[in-house]
Structures are given as C-alpha cells and as structure tokens.
Amino acid sequence: MPQATNRALGRARLATQGLSTRRWASPADAASAFGLMQGQDVASALLSLELRGGQLTDADWAELVRGYPMRNTLFVGTRADMGWMTDLCARPFKEHVGQFRDVLEEIPESGFSRAEFKALATRLHPELPQYRVLRTLMEENLVYYTGREQLVTRLRLPGLAEVFGETEAARRAAVTELATRYFRTHAPATLDDFAWWSKLPKRTIAAAARDLPDDLEVRDGQVIALDAPAPTPRTAFLLGGFDEYILGYQDRLFAMDVQTHEVLVPGNRGVFRRPVVVDGQVRGMWTKAGIEDRGIPAYAQPKLRRAFKAL
C-alpha cells in the first residue's frame, strides 16, 4: 500500500484544481481558468474537463481547441487563449511554415479527419512524417483540432501581439497572465513548477512573478493562492491518464511513493496510466475493465464504484 508523501499538500491542490470543490460552471470555464490543460489523450482530457466543470455541451465544444502550445505536447484550451499562449511558449521544429502552405491551402473549411490530413501531408511532403507537418502548422497558430470529431481545421486565433502587444513589457504581461492562471489552479506550487510546466526562462518568470495579483502570495519561492477553497479530506476520484493533478508539477511524489509512480508511469517513458486518487494520494489504477485496488480504503470504494459506473 503506498504511503502518503504529503497528504496535506495533495488535499490543498485537489481543492485549488477544482476537483474536491466545484469551482467552474462549465468545462470551457475550467479550461479558461487553467489556460492550458494536458490534451495528449482526448478521452482523458475530456474527463479532466468534466470533473472540473460538468458535462460537455455544444457550447463548450465550440470554445475548445487542441494544439501544440508548449512542451512539444498536445494541450486543450479555449479559442480566446490558445493562439497567444502558443506564440508565447511554443518551441517549433526547424521546418518553416512556408514549406507547408500547399498543405494548408488544401484543408477545407469544414476540416479534415486525422486520416485525411495524414494522406494529404504524405502526398505533398512524403519526405517528412505527417506529424511534423501538423505540429508545425499548429505551432504557427494556423491549424487546430476542433469540435466533437476533433477535425484538423484551419483556424487563426488571436495571437500574442493582438492580445498583449509587441513590446517586451507586453510579453512580460503575457507571462504574468499565464503564471496567474497556473497558480490559481495549481497552488500551492513553486516558481520552479511553473518553469517546468511552461518551459519559459526562469529569469523571465522571476520578473513576471513580481506582477502577480494580490490573491497570489510568493513565500520563499512557493506561491499560495489566498482565495483557494478549503481542502477537503477523504475524497476519491478516477482521473484521466494525463490529468493536471499528476502532470501539473515537477515532482509528483507528493501524491505517491516511488513504487506507485513506477506503476503509474512504467519506465518513466511518458505513458501514464489512469490513477485512482483517494484523499490526495494515488491508491490504484483503473481501466475500462475495472479498478485495480492497491490499498483503497473502504470509505472510498462506494464512491469509486459509482464513478466507474457513470464513466
């Protein structure tokens, strides 16, 4: 049975993340509050959003997009934010987007399925894996996954210059805004956590942190959200495989011991299983076939069975 590494910290983060206390009226509101949420696996991303904002509606689907804004990884965000956050944080391939104008021009306004895009990219640029073509276009704020069908869609969203301006002060304001959203939804967390999460330079983050709003307080490098909900004990959740509660921090051992981490992320190769989180601690895994019990307390089992049935 895994031993609690930092149960108090886990409870506090569950509350701030809107898991133990409902904080947002809809999945799109939750996505906006976070700024960006892990989006590698569509089903896991949607579960993360619904746990925090309720059932997805057509209105949410109209607002949500997936792209490559940072860490060379898919994230989900809103149309209002994804463009400027991509401009701020993306680290593009060496290919220049001009190479792929022919691909862009052949994508219909209605969008392409992933298979249709792959066929198009392979036909026009057989020398490159199609994911490089797609990621380059996404990192240049020209294409995104949209809608329930997650179609590859031509979409130019408001960029960094349009939202904040083109000066160095404007860029610093954008970093402060992204940091504000991160800490309001992840605190208690450190400036190093945000640097790891965003991959922005630490010097830039340190400067931006001086402009954080009054509801965020920096104490010895750790940021506290003063308006965060009170922690709740004895909660239980079935989380998606890439949920921000697990992947939103540089050090995950606040929520599990080393042995459990190896079960969650075999070989630490970046493929995450779906965790069962009880009172802030990872106490098992789950799949479509059922729940793997690695020491789940009796009080949590009825709630987890209901959650599994609902899924």
Give 270's pLDDT tier (boundaries 50, 70, 90).
Answer: confident
| Ranges 96-110, 167-181, 270-284: which has the least confidence | 96-110
Mean pLDDT of 97-117: 94
- 98: which residues sit within 8 A by CB, 6+ positions away? none
310 pLDDT above the threshold of 70: yes
What is the pLDDT, as a whole number, of residue 2?
A: 40
Rg of the Cα atoms in the chain:
20
User: In the chain, what are the domain boundaries?
Assistant: 22-161, 168-225, 236-310
Sign of CA dihedral 175, 178, 184, 187: negative
Q: Which two tokens stand for residue 169?
A: 């002060």
Q: What mean pLDDT, rounded, does the chain reach?
A: 94
- What's the pLDDT tens digit per position in 121-173? 999 999 999 999 999 999 999 999 999 999 999 999 999 999 999 999 999 99
| Ranges 10-24, 94-108, 133-147: which has the least confidence | 94-108
Mean pLDDT of 50-65: 97
What is the pLDDT, as a whole number, of residue 91?
A: 82
Q: Which two tokens stand for residue 58?
A: 């057509």
What is the pLDDT, as a whole number, of residue 3?
A: 43
| Spatial separation of the C-alpha atoms in residues 35 and 29, rounded to whole Å | 10
pTM of the complete model: 0.95
- What's the pLDDT tens digit per position in 172-191? 999 999 999 999 999 999 99
Whether 54 contacts 222, CB under 8 Å:
no
For residue 304, give the 3-state DSSP assignment.
helix
Mean pLDDT of 17-38: 97
Mean pLDDT of 38-42: 95
What is the pLDDT, as a whole number, of residue 20?
A: 97
| Spatial separation of the C-alpha atoms in residues 248 and 280, rounded to whole Å | 14
- Closest residue by Cα to residue 311 from 290, 285, 292: 290
Q: Which two tokens stand for residue 207?
A: 């400067």
Give 219's pLDDT tier (boundaries 50, 70, 90).
Answer: confident
CA distances from 68 to 60, 65, 76, 83, 85 (A): 20, 10, 9, 10, 10
288 pLDDT above the threshold of 80: yes
Alpha carbons within 13 angstroms on the beta-carbon side of residue 306 total 6
Q: Which two tokens stand for residue 100?
A: 């792929």
Whether 143 contacts 134, CB under 8 Å:
yes
62 pLDDT above the threshold of 80: yes
1 pLDDT above the threshold of 80: no
Phi, psi of 283 (to 5 degrees): -120, 15
- 204: which residues sit within 8 A by CB, 6+ positions away? 172, 175
| Spatial separation of the C-alpha atoms in residues 239 and 50, rounded to whole Å | 11
Sign of CA dihedral 35, 284, 25, 153: positive
298 pLDDT above the threshold of 70: yes
| DSSP state for residue 233 in the 8-state scheme | S
| Spatial separation of the C-alpha atoms in residues 8 and 123, rounded to whole Å | 54
Helices (H), the chain: 7-16, 27-34, 42-53, 58-63, 82-89, 101-106, 114-124, 130-139, 160-163, 168-186, 191-198, 202-209, 244-247, 258-264, 301-310
Mean pLDDT of 190-203: 96
252 pLDDT above the threshold of 90: yes
Give 195's pLDDT tier (boundaries 50, 70, 90).
Answer: very high
Angle CA 45–241–16, to nearest 5: 70
